[in-house]
Chain A
Amino acid sequence: MTPTQEFLQNLKQAPRHIRESMLRNGKMPETDRERSQSTFHNVFFHLQSVRVHRHSLRFAYTFGLGLILTASFVVLTLTGILLMVYYKPGAELAYDSVKDIHFVVPAGRFIRNIHRWGAHLMVLAVFLHMARVFYTGSYKRPREFNWLVGLALLALTLGLSFTGYLLPWDQLAFWAITIGANIASSPREVTDAIGITAWFDPGKLLKQLLLGANYVGQEALIRFYVLHVAVLPLALAALMGVHFWRVRKDGGLSRDETRPAPPARIGDRDVQVFAPNKTYGLMAVVRGRTPEVGRAPEGTVTSWPHLLWAEMAAFMFTIAVTLALSYFFDAPLKEMANPAIPENPAKAPWYFLGLQELVSYSAFMGGVGIPAIVLAGLGLIPYLDRDPRGVGVWFGGPAGRREFWQSLAFGLASVLALLAFTVNFGWLRAWYPTIPQIAIIIVNPATVIVAMYSAWSLWVLRRTGSIRLSAVALFTCFLAGFVVLTAMGSIFRGPNWQFYWWPSQWPTH
């Protein structure tokens, strides 16, 4: 072979070589061994284990919520980068640049819609994902810490959505963030009530930290922008990495280990496999409980292609839903932000409207007290409920399912009754106009509902003797409360935070 021939031959084979070098094993895998290699030898696929349990692929177990979240994050990152190209984070420029995105950037309106609806979808999915993980007992040993990582991801997701909310610089954004910042300054209610605001004002500090000023302006805008496009996405991506890594290291998705494993799929046949009596060589030097020690591929299928298809389905589902929403509904964009014309009612983003409803009773309780109690409670769940039973089964079985429905009924009934009472009869201030504020901070609908839920949960604990069931009861109650209060704040509160059955009844002020 002459050098010329060799050169030509190499040139001819270059595409194959490029493919091979890129994919490492070079072709579509055909055997299980090659499938394993394809997973193992690719930096992205490597995030998955080579084989995945059949149970983890059951749609009704996960509803694909984690994948939907990942997909939303990818979609939001991509559309976000496109928006960043045109968006100008200046108080004088921002609104016009969003208008330009809406009107003249090719498909800019569509991309902004995707970004907006994708963000709402992500916030919704993160709540649902948490509920799924809770109700399947997936926070239990050894996954306790990943539950905490998940909570941090929840907070980051809300932070991303909240910071993004301001960027269009329209009336909706401006007043929502004003409300949000006022919620942040709610410790002042307590410092006011005990008269130490002049010396110690953490509410003001929080608000200034958030806004960079005492009002929503250019400082707040640039701050929110930096958080939204750099700090929070990077933090979220990093924590997502940790979250995934822990999912794998903690043994994959949770499942009921006590039940006999379904057959493994080897090649294209389902085969019953029994655990060998030896461990993998590498695992022998690893201390502690690792997922695959003492395990054969019982109950598993290869990740390639089965998990990949599942992931693909979730991704495409997310994309299809956001595209459909974005095609039919434009992202809101009201008049340019105008501090002189307050929106009435000014409402925070929807996921904070439950809090805003509570803030309308007591700023401190709604803004700091209750969220702190809820966050601390959520964080402590895996450390208080150490019962290893019931992992990987929705509600941990029939008893839990019964407890769920009872608690849901109780949670809904009590919060609805309390809201109906408050709307019709008012609260302490209406009956005793001179009552000290500290009394209202301590006794208001928000604290009453928390007390009722706690009492119910304690009663369940006494009745069943199960911490898990009592946790299910408490979580369910708070979920019911969250949904009802959010609906209350979003739909049934009109100008001056008055109750209305429907927004069409609002007076045109």
Chain B
Amino acid sequence: MPADPSRSFKWATIICSVVSIVFLIAAAVRENISADWRARQAAFREILTRKAKDAAARTAARNLPIEIRQVVVPALHAVDRCVTCHLGIDDPRMADQANPHRTHPKRLLTIHRVEKFGCTVCHQGQGAALNFEEAKAEDYFWDYPLLPAKFTEATCASCHNPRALPAGSAGRLVLGAQLYEQKGCGGCHKLNGKGGQLGLPLDNVGLKTKHQFVRTNLKGSQTNWNWLAEHFRDPAGIIPGSLMPVPALSRPQVEALTVFMLSLRQRDLPAEYLAPDKIDEQYARLHPAPPDGAALYRRYCAACHDTGLFSRWDKLFQRFVPGIRNAAFVRAADDESLAVNVREGRPGTPMPGWGPKAGGLSEAELAALVAYMRSSAPAMALPAAPARGDAARGATLFAQNCAGCHGVAGQGLIAPALANPVFQRAATDAFIAQTIRAGRENTPMPAFGRAGFGEAEIGDLLAYIRKWQPAGAAAVALGRQP
């Protein structure tokens, strides 16, 4: 009898069928019976039975159903299945157990009930997952992986004001918020509309996903917190060419600042979730208290100007930073010119403007800052400036005596730029003349008046320096007499 024409098909069918059945059974077992959480729940049942004190409790423990558990919090858009494995999370008897059966530490859940808050609103991570790797969701396609314990405090700020938390709670977050002020981060970074513009705004940094960080130079863990921590240790190592000063921070300080960065996230939470202090914070943003000049100076100015009593050379900027609280300077400048300098900054230099449209400070805050600077010295009545003389002679004098520090073109080297439009606007002739005449104590600016410059030479210099005045600016120079 000739061979059956469909013999090979029969074999193929049988082999493929066997393969299919094997995979179907294997998948059915893997997906259902051998799921991780079943073993965890069985273990929990054991623990519960062991801890049972009487027969009724033992029966209840034995009958504990093995099933997926979840906390659904519609207000937070949370479906958290963490409790499928963390069964003892709000059971005080489980304090002596190891994870995942352990009670939540610090009794935090008595204040933040699981049914009301769920898990991921504080811990982040993927609440829908049913195994730890996917719940943790690091190196996984998930926007907000589980926060490591040392950074979890970041999410407290969703409902609490980190500046008003009671002592002893969320220590890292509180320290981070303080460091942000103390280190003058606001000098370069905007937050809530206020701050400098050299660095990136920091609003909602905590909401960024790892894809929004430039991680080209990030070694090790690719998480946001590792990025932030490494960046605090060595900003230029993460972002080449970064102008951010290397802050001398201890390890706890790095962690605290990282927590604070992660806490910068505006979540649209229902009012019943907000702590009273958070509501106060929001109220305070709309109705600010009278500004404190010293605090404002520390927050926005000190990062570059330090105490402001002396001028200093900045290595990163490769330029000179004037001492803006220097008594000689403050004495010579009137409030209005100080305010103009603060409000408008110095275009072309790292000094940003701080007016409402730039740095976001209100006029009241600007006034407080000026008042704080004024506390170094009262304004003096300046002797009248000599009449502007011959600019050509002034040019020669400038090249001989001034250009070494102020630059040939007045662009500023180790001394302020005189060709700067805002300087030209803020400075009166009397101010310039007095500075040349009397110099600036505690800075390299000598008193040329004592070095033999007469009023005529000063007038010539004045004429030359005023050549840098922007066209038409003389008329609008703050409506004041030049």
Residues of A within 8 A of B (CB): 54, 57, 59, 96, 99-100, 103-104, 106-107, 109-110, 170-171, 265, 268-270, 301, 305-306, 309-310, 312-313, 316-317, 319-320, 323-324, 326-327, 333-336, 338, 341, 507-509
Contact = CB atoms under 8 A, between A and B. Distances in A.
A268 B1 contact: yes
Contacts of A170: 141
Given A341-B212, A508-B222, A107 B27 contact: yes
A59 B141 CA distance: 42
Nearest to A311: B9
A218 B464 CA distance: 66
- Chain A CB count within 10 A is highest, among B17, B23, B143, for B23
B143 A336 contact: yes
Contacts of A96: 79, 128
A320 B19 CA distance: 6
Contact of A508 (B6, B15, B31, B215): B215
Contact of A335 (B15, B209, B222): B209
B99 interface: no
Contact of A107 (B4, B13, B32, B134): B32
Contacts of B126: 99
Interface in B1-52: 1-2, 4-6, 8-10, 12-13, 15-17, 19-20, 23-24, 26-28, 30-32
Given A320-B20, A323-B19, A323-B20, A309 B13 contact: yes
B218 interface: yes
B261 interface: no
18 contacts: A100-B128, A104-B128, A106-B31, A107-B32, A170-B141, A301-B6, A305-B6, A309-B10, A317-B12, A319-B16, A323-B27, A324-B23, A327-B23, A327-B26, A334-B141, A335-B141, A509-B215, A509-B216
Nearest to A509: B214
B279 interface: no
Contacts of B215: 508-509
Nearest to A341: B211
A309 B68 CA distance: 43
A316 B216 contact: no
Interface in B136-152: 141-143
A508 B209 CA distance: 13
B256 interface: no
Contacts of A323: 19-20, 23-24, 27
Interface of B: 1-2, 4-6, 8-10, 12-13, 15-17, 19-20, 23-24, 26-28, 30-32, 68, 79, 81, 126, 128-130, 134, 141-143, 209, 211-212, 214-216, 218, 222
Contacts of B19: 320, 323-324
- Chain B CB count within 10 A is highest, among A107, A313, A334, for A313
B143 A335 contact: yes
A312 B9 contact: yes
Contacts of B32: 106-107
Given A110-B27, A336-B143, 20 more contacts: A99-B126, A103-B128, A104-B128, A269-B2, A306-B6, A309-B6, A309-B10, A310-B9, A312-B9, A313-B8, A313-B12, A313-B16, A316-B16, A319-B20, A320-B20, A323-B20, A323-B23, A327-B30, A507-B216, A508-B215
Contact of B31 (A107, A320, A336): A107
B5 A265 contact: yes
A54 B8 CA distance: 13
B215 to A, nearest CB: 4
A249 B103 CA distance: 73
Contacts of B26: 327
B5 A54 contact: yes
A270 B214 CA distance: 73
Contacts of B1: 268-269
A327 B20 CA distance: 11
Contacts of B129: 103
A305 B13 CA distance: 13
B31 A109 contact: yes
Contacts of A269: 1-2
B137 to A, nearest CB: 10
A401 B279 CA distance: 79
Contacts of B141: 170-171, 333-335
Contacts of B4: 268
Contacts of B27: 107, 110, 323, 326-327
- Chain B CB count within 10 A is highest, among A57, A99, A106, for A99
A252 B245 CA distance: 79
Nearest to A323: B23
Nearest to A508: B215
Contact of A270 (B2, B130, B134, B211): B2
A170 B141 CA distance: 10
B8 to A, nearest CB: 7
Contacts of B218: 508
Nearest 6 CB-CB pairings of A with B: A316-B16, A313-B12, A309-B9, A309-B6, A334-B141, A323-B23
- Chain A CB count within 10 A is highest, among B17, B214, B216, for B17
Contacts of B143: 335-336, 338
Contacts of B209: 335, 338, 341
A76 to B, nearest CB: 16
B373 to A, nearest CB: 41
Contacts of B212: 341
- Chain A CB count within 10 A is highest, among B27, B28, B68, B128, for B27
A508 B9 CA distance: 50
A107 B20 contact: no
B132 to A, nearest CB: 13
B289 to A, nearest CB: 35
Contact of A316 (B13, B28, B81, B142): B13
A317 B17 CA distance: 8
A313 B15 CA distance: 9
Contacts of B31: 106-107, 109-110
Contacts of A508: 215-216, 218, 222
A104 B16 contact: no
Given A103-B129, A326-B27, A335-B142, A59 B8 contact: yes
A106 B27 CA distance: 10
A47 B31 CA distance: 38
B435 to A, nearest CB: 49
A99 B125 CA distance: 14
B77 to A, nearest CB: 9
B9 A509 contact: no
Contacts of B222: 508
A323 B28 CA distance: 12
Contacts of B130: 103-104
B179 to A, nearest CB: 28
Contacts of B68: 104
Contacts of A110: 27, 31
A494 to B, nearest CB: 13
- Chain A CB count within 10 A is highest, among B6, B8, B19, for B6
Contacts of B128: 96, 99-100, 103-104
